[in-house]
Structure 1
Amino acid sequence: MACDLCIKSMMIGDSGVGKTALVVKFVEDGFKNDKTTTIGVDYKDKILWMRGKKVKLQIWDTAGQERFQTITQQYYRSAMGILMVYDMTDEASFRNIVRWNEQISKHGDKDVQRVLVGNKADAEKIVVTREQGQALAEEYGIPFFETSAWFGDNVNEAFLKLAEMVIKQRRREDEPYYPDTLRLRKDEPCKSRACCVRE
């Protein structure tokens, strides 16, 4: 069965903030605890269901190192939604969200949806407070979540919020919107790529 909608999303943020761990937790309900760095761009997808509609959420997990920026810039152009991730135990990664947001403004679509995520909320030594994260999100006018890829806190909520925002933005005016019906389904991934052709 082909998908009714394909959403292309991106994970951006400094290296080591836990982008891949968040993706693995969301897609596989697992945890990636090694120190292997993403090289360039990795990809996973998750099937969502909304009011009987089959939605494929593509997640492009990008490398945070500067040398990979020329590779990842091309993905900004077609991204419908972006999760900007920082490490709550690393103040520099939080400060760099400003730079990542500038990259979105420079290379991304003007209507791209964004969500700010503070990861590693389970850590003992938190240096970036909830108030700091919330204030930055309010400055950008976007949702904010503190997440734990280890325990799964707010991981599904962050991804589903992004999907909800994209779906709401792209629905036709004559189609009703039912945000409460968006849910995860453990199902086989889309076997058809017809739904993922960029218009």
Structure 2
Amino acid sequence: MPKTLRAKVITVGDSAVGKSAITQVFHSDGAHFPKSYSMTVGVELCVKSVNIPDTNDCVELYIYDSAGKELYSDYVHKFWEHPSVVMVVFDVTNETSFKSCQKWLERVKNKTNQELPGVLVGNKIDLVGRRVISPKIAREFAMKNSLEYCECSAKEMENVEAAFYFVANAFYRLYEEKVEVMNTLV
């Protein structure tokens, strides 16, 4: 019998790195890129199902797109209760946004008191001439923090779904492992 699992994805990163654009492009299957930027105040929620390959199951992702401005941090943290996975986004043309990834991970860990499966996402790869963070440096950071690494361009709608498919599959594997452990206890 097919299962539908629900996963809470918290999306974090500095302001203007493209968290909302990535979320909206994924949610709309590439049909919508927000051409006019409006800063996220607090948290925006999107829901989308991802089918798990080689099964009849799916994971319904509840994507909490968090504001990146410090001004909203106290408010945003209230929405980080009981996350399943984390997505940390930075702008490949902005070194400060990359350096802030450590701060965002620490905030999530302090709030959740646990290691979460997750993904580091380098956005804005379409701005080739302005790139300052190499894929190698980003991959090393991701590996050091037990994260997967993906790059995308929300504007060009390139590879946006990869990070979401990764977190859906990671959550599904974690669920299956826990079910297996529970079955051995019976």
**Residue matched to 2:50:** 48
8 Å contact from structure 2 (residues 93, 133) kept in 1? yes
1:15 corresponds to: 15
- Does residue 163 of the first structure (1) align with residue 164 of the second (2)? no
Asked if 1 retains the 8 angstrom alpha-carbon contact of 2:43 and 2:67, the reply is yes
Aligned twin of 1:33:
35
- Deviation of the 1:127 alpha carbon: 1.1
Deviations 1:74-127, CA, capped at 9 Å, x for gaps = 222311011100011111000101100110110025142121011001113111
What is the distance in 2 between the residues matched to 1:136 and 1:54?
30
Cα distance in 1, alignment partners of residues 110 and 45 from structure 2: 23
What amino acid maps onto 2:27 in structure 1?
Answer: V
Runs of 4+ in 1 over 6 A off after TM superposition: none
Q: Distance in 2 between matches of 1:146 and 1:64?
A: 19
Quick one: which of 146, 155, 165 aligns to 1:150? 155
* Among 106, 111, 132, the residue aligned to 1:102: 106
User: RCO greater where, 1 or 2, for CA within 8 Å and sep 6 or more?
Assistant: 1
Alignment of 1:33-182 (within 5 A): 33-50=35-52, 51-123=55-127, 124-171=129-176, 172-173=179-180
Three-state SS of the structure 1 residue aligned to 2:130 is coil
Q: Which structure features the higher share of helix residues?
A: 2
For 2:57 and 2:167, the matched residues in 1 are separated by: 17
Q: CA 1:109 to 1:48, structure 2 compared with 1: closer, same or farther past 3 Å?
A: farther
How far does residue 163 in structure 1 lie from its aligned partner after superposition? 1.0
RMSD between aligned residues: 1.8
Unmatched 5+ stretches in structure 1 = 176-199
Instruction: Go from structure 1 to structure 2 and tell me whether the alpha carbon gap of 1:139 and 1:54 turns closer, same or farther (over 3 Å shift).
Output: closer
Using the alignment, how far apart are the partners of 1:71 and 1:95 within structure 2? 23
TM (norm. structure 2) is: 0.87
Q: Residue 188 of structure 1 corresponds to which residue in structure 2?
A: none
Identify if the C-alpha distance between structure 1 residues 109 and 163 changes in structure 2 by more than 3 Å, giving closer, same or farther. Answer: farther
Gaps of 5+ in 2: none
